[in-house]
A and B are shown apart, each in its own frame.
Chain A
Amino acid sequence: MQLQFDESAPLYQQIAAQLEEMIFTGGFTEGSQIPSTTQLSAQLHINPATVLKGMNQLVSKGLVEKRRGRGMFVAPGAQDKIMQARKDSFYNDYIKRLLVEAHKLGITKEHLLELIKRGENDGTITH
């Protein structure tokens, strides 16, 4: 597993976010085992305490669960939970920012709707 890191967020949050992304996109399926703190920290050369903190974040969100003596597993319903959380933050993360930027650029509501329609027909945008 290869993770990409940047400096904008604390390392443990980045670890949590990347594991979450892999669960969301099906890289780790529900019920399957994810790499242990031990494996992750040895492979990524990251202090075990940092990895554990990231892992605990996923546990407290109910996305992964610890099975005694066996390791960490993706919790049932994890994908749906991530989906729901992302829908909830979609308004704040995307819509609000879009409107702020559009306002700065003097883009009207009508023009904005036109642009969205254009995007829907844009062959270069892959899903």
Chain B
Amino acid sequence: MEQLHIDHITKRYGHQVVLDDLSFDLAPGKIYGLLGRNGAGKSTLLNIITSRIFPTAGTIKLGDQDGRDNDAVLGQFYLMSEANLYPKRTTVRRMFDMADESYGGFDYQNADRLLKEFGVPSTAQLSNLSTGLQTAAKLTVALSVNAAFILLDEPVLGLDANHREVFYKELIKTYQNKPRTFVLSTHLIDEIQQVVEHVFIIDDHHLVEEGDVQAMLDKAYAISGPTKDVDEYTNGLRVLAQDELGNVKTAYVYNQLDDQRILPDRVKIGHYDLQHLFIYLTNGGTNNE
């Protein structure tokens, strides 16, 4: 299986820019996170990848094949989205059949097992289910469909804690049984940070950061101590945010720390998590003022 190249994608509606020149690659057999605040353009991007809408500029390529109007390429992508594209009165069982008709090789056995775990009857009509159970039904299809790139737009929308547990467990299970690429698009970062291997952060219609989660966290340092010492130590480093309480300051640095920098006695170094890194990166970020 080949890499998916998202190449200089721009989307405008009139004068409104929704995505501004985004480029990145998705490798086969990896779990990715696509992170952004509400309205950042995540759903638009997923819709463009799956050709539900067309970009104003840029291309989507699988290997060297253009995705546009190319069924062989599009047949590799499955998008589970919030929008309900199913006809009225579609039953859950019918959703399975539709996925099988479009992609072939639908894993009915896995799907039936998942439905039981989620407690969704296969005879139920999708539109009659609660938001959470609709998500559960759609996830069941997404985790059983035969496609190489599975894009999940807000995969835990409305799911209760128990169902979220089921989802994360089953995602990893199916991924291990049959490695394929998953993209989890969400703003709920806390829960997915240990599930995803690599993340893309979109803010204000731009890709502001991408990388392996561990490599990103390795650069995320919380440096705290007396304000004067912290300022001296962090001088020249990229500081995303800072808290001050009396004379004590914590600076949230996003930078490698070299050994040349001498750590003052009363300054402590710790780490912060992906959720906070995301918040600081998408808040406009403050500088050392």
Contacts and interface: CB of A to CB of B under 8 A. Distances in A.
B214 A11 contact: yes
Interface in B212-235: 214, 217-218
A43 B170 CA distance: 10
A89 interface: no
A123 B37 CA distance: 54
A77 interface: no
Interface stretch (A47-55, A58-66, A90-98): A47-55
Given A11-B214, A42-B169, A50 B194 contact: yes
B273 A42 contact: no
Interface in A59-90: none
B172 interface: yes
B206 to A, nearest CB: 26
Interface string B153-191: 000000000000100110011011000000000000000
Given A10-B214, A42-B172, A47 B194 contact: yes
B197 interface: yes
**How many B residues touch the partner, as a band?**
10 to 19
A31 B51 CA distance: 54
A46 to B, nearest CB: 5
Contacts of B197: 47, 49-50
Nearest to A46: B194
Contacts, number: 43
Contacts of B270: 7-8
B172 A7 contact: no
Contact of B169 (A45, A47, A48): A45
A47 B195 contact: yes
B113 interface: no
A50 B272 contact: no
B31 interface: yes
B169 A38 contact: no
B175 to A, nearest CB: 7
Nearest to B271: A7
A-side interface size class: 10 to 19
A64 B194 CA distance: 24
B217 A48 contact: no
B195 A45 contact: yes
Contact of B214 (A7, A12, A43, A48): A12
A33 interface: no
A46 B191 CA distance: 10
A10 B218 CA distance: 8
A38 B168 CA distance: 13
Contacts of B168: 45
A45 B214 CA distance: 16
Interface of B: 31, 165, 168-169, 172-173, 175-176, 194-197, 214, 217-218, 270-273
Given A45-B168, A47-B31, 16 more contacts: A7-B272, A8-B270, A11-B194, A42-B169, A43-B169, A45-B165, A45-B169, A45-B172, A45-B194, A45-B195, A46-B195, A48-B175, A49-B197, A50-B194, A50-B197, A50-B214
